[in-house]
Chains A and B, each alone.
Chain A
Amino acid sequence: MATLVQVENLRKEFGNVRALDGVSFRVDAGEWIAIMGPSGSGKTTLINILGGLDTPTAGQAVVDGTDVARLDEAGLTRFRAEKIGFIFQQFHLVPYLTAVENVMLAQYFHSTTDEKEAQQSLERVGLGDRIEHLPSQLSGGEQQRVAVARALINHPKLILADEPTGNLDEANEEIVLSLLRELHNEGHTILMVTHAPSIGRLADRRIEFAHGHLVQAAVASLKPELA
């Protein structure tokens, strides 16, 4: 399989704190990777750099042939719009936009909006009857499913999910995880940050971090029976 993400000797410092210290790994297209580790180990920093939300202090982070470290502000903006789909722990929906408008917002910043396509995207995540609802009128699980629909709408090369089930109850966690499984089965490349080993085991591989270092990589997934 072709390499989609290649990280080489990546370093990120916040003042005197080294959040990432010489991290290197590769992700092939279509892989589902779980990034694990305790709080403050550098997982979210890695996701932010790979998603073009932050820039590294040193090293390379190449996504689909683009070295994120070399992009300027405008380049990072285009990179995020065209290649990345984000799913956040806090959902991060715009509170005064309806579900369909939140999805269309990503379309708007990417190219042109297509309301029908946005509606289909919401139907796909089981929210066909919640299209005109505001985030405040949706449950946590429903909000996260809107975020998934938004992340998928521009057909990104890489889906970055930062603790996507961290704020959900068990039932909603299962809904979101099955959505991620579906995406993986369709060939999407997913990098997912999680604390939970049970969720991490759903991925093809786990990459474990501690104090900014990669401590364990390329661990074969145990693939639980529900996969």
Chain B
Amino acid sequence: MFWRLVFQLLRGSRGRLGVAILAIVSGAAVISALLNLDLGVQNKLTQEFRTLGANIVISPASGAPAQISGAEVPSLMPERDVLAALQQLPSAQVSAAAPYLYIVARAQNIRVVVAGTWPDQAQKLDATWKLEGNWVRSREDQSQCLVGRNVARRMQLALGNPLELHYMDRSAQCRVAGIVDAGGSEDNQVFASLSAVQSLANLPGQIGVAQLSVTGTAQIVADYAARLAAALPQYQVRPIRQVTEAEGALLGRIRLLIVSMVLLILILTALCVLGTMAALAMERRKDVGLMKSLGGSISRIVGIFLAEVGVLGAVGGLLGTILGAALAYWMGLRVFGTAISPRWEVFPATIALMIVVTLAGALPLRMLGNVKPAEILRGE
């Protein structure tokens, strides 16, 4: 009988409750959209930030440069040490990782910085580079290299041209697969496969630096760097603060904005429900007086009305959450250019919030406790 009463109450007051449910659906839709955006934006933003390049750098501990074959080269570290440490940590968080060995070689009698790396990973680390031609797809491919646009201009290199590199008494040749326009120092460098540069420099298995792009918030990146530092105590592991901090600050500001908006909407929804419920409580005074005269206790009567309001909150919350997920999807496409998928945890959170807010808005029902049945039945 309880739920039958609740259903009939809802049906009987559908006109007035329609206003309340409209407010709840609207509130829930915006809250659900904001929460979906909040969670989705974190992923999208971290992806966007990853295109800015590496956010963790591993390098040898600062010290005197190494002396190799009489030439002074920066401190080096074994490639296998770094790879072993990376394998110990969860690979899912690392979106790209590349070792680098930098040497200063000569080409066409011009000194040029040559970076030996894994070109396939460098492409992921430096997604903002503009490239004319093609990336070198395989890290084992020693026959192809990339040249910076300044190098190409000075040496009058075009795609497909051979490039001969000399380092001390050794030399290596590669064909220009692509010309890099990075807008930075990379425009003055040549990028070849790590193994080719190690052979040229006669530094087998040595690297100068490793760069990683770790997905996640600033805290996740800092945690990952700390664990990597613990695994590689002999080397220096540094998060690149400009990137991680900018990302953290932006995410923090977005979250603050979203939380403020959610609170504001909750208050507005509660006020709207409050107004409707105050009018409804006045309307229901006669029914309550009658129910009391039939032996209904006030707790039992108000319980029926609260269940009615709870159902209203749950149904409004559910409809609004679905609508909000669609809104977040559309906003994701408009703002970020990619769809933001609905997060399942948003559904119960939004519905629970709407039930709480609706019950808070039902405070005027408390005044029904003061209804005197004799007065109501007399028509006062």
Contacts and interface: CB of A to CB of B under 8 A. Distances in A.
Contact of A80 (B8, B12, B294, B372): B294
A172 B323 CA distance: 54
A24 interface: no
Contacts of A82: 295
B230 interface: no
Interface residues on A, range: 20 to 34
B379 interface: yes
Contacts of A88: 377
Given A96-B9, A108-B1, A113-B1, A77 B292 contact: yes
B334 interface: no
Interface residues on B, range: 20 to 34
B333 interface: no
A54 B372 CA distance: 8
B12 A44 contact: no
A82 B296 CA distance: 11
A53 B293 contact: yes
A53 B373 contact: yes
Interface string B281-295: 000001100111111
Interface stretch (A97-105, A137-145, A197-205): A97-105
Contact of B8 (A90, A97, A106, A110): A97
B5 A108 contact: yes
B291 to A, nearest CB: 7
A96 B293 contact: no
Residues of A contacting B: mostly: helix
Contacts of B373: 53
A109 B8 CA distance: 17
Interface string B1-24: 110110011011100000000000
A94 interface: yes
Contacts of A81: 294-296
Interface in B31-49: none
Contacts of A155: none
B294 A86 contact: yes
A2 interface: no
Contact of B377 (A53, A97, A101, A109): A53
Interface in A147-169: 150
A108 B296 CA distance: 8
Name the 3 nearest CB pairs between A and B, nearest first. Answer: A81-B295, A96-B12, A53-B374
Interface of A: 44, 48, 51, 53-54, 74, 77-82, 84, 86, 88, 90, 92, 94-97, 101, 104-110, 113, 150
